[in-house]
Chains A and B, each alone.
Chain A
Amino acid sequence: MLEPASAARRRVFVTGVGLISPHGGEPEEVFERLYAGESAIRKVHSGTTEFGADALLARAECDPAGVIPKTQLLLMDRVSQMAVVAAHRALRAAKLLVEDRGPSTAGVYIGCGLGGSNAIQEAYRSYYERHIRKVKPSTVPLIMTNAPASHISMRYRILGPSLTYSIACSSSAVAIGEAFRAIRDGYLDCALAGGTESMLNDGALVAWDGLGVLAKEHADGAAASSRPFSKDRTGFVLGEGSAAIVLETQEAMRARGAQPIAEVVGYGASSDAHNLTQPAVDGQVRAMRAALADAGLQPERVGYINAHATATPAGDKIEIDAIKQTFGDHARRLAVSATKSMHGHLVGAAGALEFAITVLALNKRRLPPTANLTMPDPECDLDCVPCVGRQAPNLEYALSNSFAFGGSNAVLVARRA
């Protein structure tokens, strides 16, 4: 096979992380709260309409003041506002904000599941309540799923490709994986990659509820309701937020004297080609194997997996089986944790938030736990880091799994820098 001129692979590093998350916006603080096993899940009234009800949610705070001009806020759904603020934080952390602009030759790769879900609800509510054939002129620009990526490109004048990946729960893992490849293979030197999701409104919640995948409130309280790998798990808790990371080549990083947080070394994707909502062991195994092969990595060198594990009765066991099949005997020697037990399921932003956590875990050589894991499911019998965070001094490689509705699987591999 002919190889392109760019076949010489370049090394890709994470040099900045920016977050809007249920545990806050400061990566150090977010990691410490997760390491301490603290859940950000609460029971709140989703009172955007009179039909609102109490719901288990992991809300995030987003204050766009000082980042987004007031005149622009009108034209941006919360999902875009979160994306721009997270991007701002990532660029600032990477020291790539110069005179309020980002690196002009970079690319923007963003994952998003539902787009401007709040604006969708508002437009439909207004239309059906008022019976007037007019909605806000900005409705379409507010709703479009690629608005967050475009707003980032515009706000920071980043002129490379501005791309959106909408693949449900794998959206932002794919966005990061594709950005990683574009840099590694020579198409870009730098990318802002991540994900964003904000759909904690009644219309979206009732749809998720109708699917029967949401957690019931646990006897120990709302905060204990997301219980991956537990015998008594009942489903997931929806969260919101945005996570952005800056990726760049080793040369670019060195040239400006920047420090790496971790290295991205592999990405694998696959389809179950099986069922829209039921996951499958085989597809997940193929994605993990593809990611390891992409990294040129022996499975025995992986020390930690940040699992997709949403806490649905079927899903967690399938992922554990897939890990066993991929890693063989080594599955019992590596650690697997499900941080969705604490930050909930951010859907389009899940992969990016969890990859950011994975990268911080590698950097600190400490593993966040699976919260609420007091009564493990005997069928989820791997080392799932129950309840208490753990030092991992020898940790060198870690995986972050994302498995979407639709059967699209994405796995990222990172290495300690």
Chain B
Amino acid sequence: MSSYDYIKQVLIEKHDVKPDAIKPDATLAELGLDSLSAAELMFDVADKYGIDIPDERANFTTLGDGAALVDELIQTKGA
């Protein structure tokens, strides 16, 4: 499963987001997540892939950007 698909799965299962609202250019705020819920989501994703998301990089805006960040950190970790 790609990191984007995993984020999508957590959004649906834990945060009760409607599947068809989830698009690469959607922001977490648009999907109804407040800052604490967004932090919980990124904690789950970081936990899943064993990565550390630095605070200064956690301010991405869209889901697509978030997934790209996660992919990059997974790559860096593997390197």
Contact = CB atoms under 8 A, between A and B. Distances in A.
B15 A74 contact: yes
B40 A138 contact: yes
Contacts of B36: 75, 137-138, 141
A326 to B, nearest CB: 49
B37 A75 contact: yes
Contacts of B14: 74
B16 A70 contact: yes
B32 A134 contact: no
Contact of A74 (B32, B40, B46): B40
Nearest to B39: A137
Interface string A17-40: 000000000000000000000000
A298 interface: no
A394 interface: no
Contacts of A4: none
A269 B4 CA distance: 58
B51 to A, nearest CB: 11
Contacts of A74: 14-15, 37, 40
Contacts of A136: 40, 43
Contacts of A75: 36-37, 40
A305 B48 CA distance: 55
Contacts of A141: 36
B35 to A, nearest CB: 9
Nearest to A70: B16
Contact of A71 (B32, B39, B43, B46): B32
B12 to A, nearest CB: 11
A69 interface: yes
Contacts of B16: 69-71
Interface string A128-170: 0000001011100100000000000000000000000000000
B28 to A, nearest CB: 12
Nearest to A136: B43
A308 B46 CA distance: 48
A137 B43 contact: yes
A74 B15 CA distance: 8
B33 to A, nearest CB: 8
Nearest to A133: B52
A136 B40 CA distance: 7
A29 B51 CA distance: 52
Contacts of B43: 134, 136-137
A131 to B, nearest CB: 13
Contacts of B39: 137-138
A106 B62 CA distance: 40
Interface string B37-65: 10110010010000000000000000000
B76 to A, nearest CB: 18
B37 A71 contact: yes
A144 to B, nearest CB: 13
A69 B40 CA distance: 16
A74 B13 CA distance: 11
Interface in A69-91: 69-71, 74-75
A70 B37 CA distance: 12
Contacts of A70: 15-16
Interface string A297-321: 0000000000000000000000000
B15 A137 contact: no
B40 A137 contact: yes
A346 to B, nearest CB: 29
A180 to B, nearest CB: 34
Contacts of A71: 15-16, 32-33, 37
A294 to B, nearest CB: 42
Contacts of A137: 36, 39-40, 43
A74 to B, nearest CB: 6
Task: Identify the 7 closest CB pairs spanning chains A and B, nearest first.
Answer: A137-B39, A70-B16, A71-B16, A137-B43, A71-B15, A138-B40, A137-B40
20 contacts: A70-B15, A71-B15, A71-B32, A71-B33, A71-B37, A74-B14, A74-B15, A74-B37, A75-B36, A75-B37, A75-B40, A134-B43, A134-B46, A136-B40, A136-B43, A137-B39, A137-B40, A138-B36, A138-B39, A141-B36
Interface of B: 14-16, 32-33, 36-37, 39-40, 43, 46
Interface of A: 69-71, 74-75, 134, 136-138, 141
Given A71-B37, A74-B37, A75-B37, 5 more contacts: A71-B15, A74-B40, A75-B40, A137-B43, A138-B39
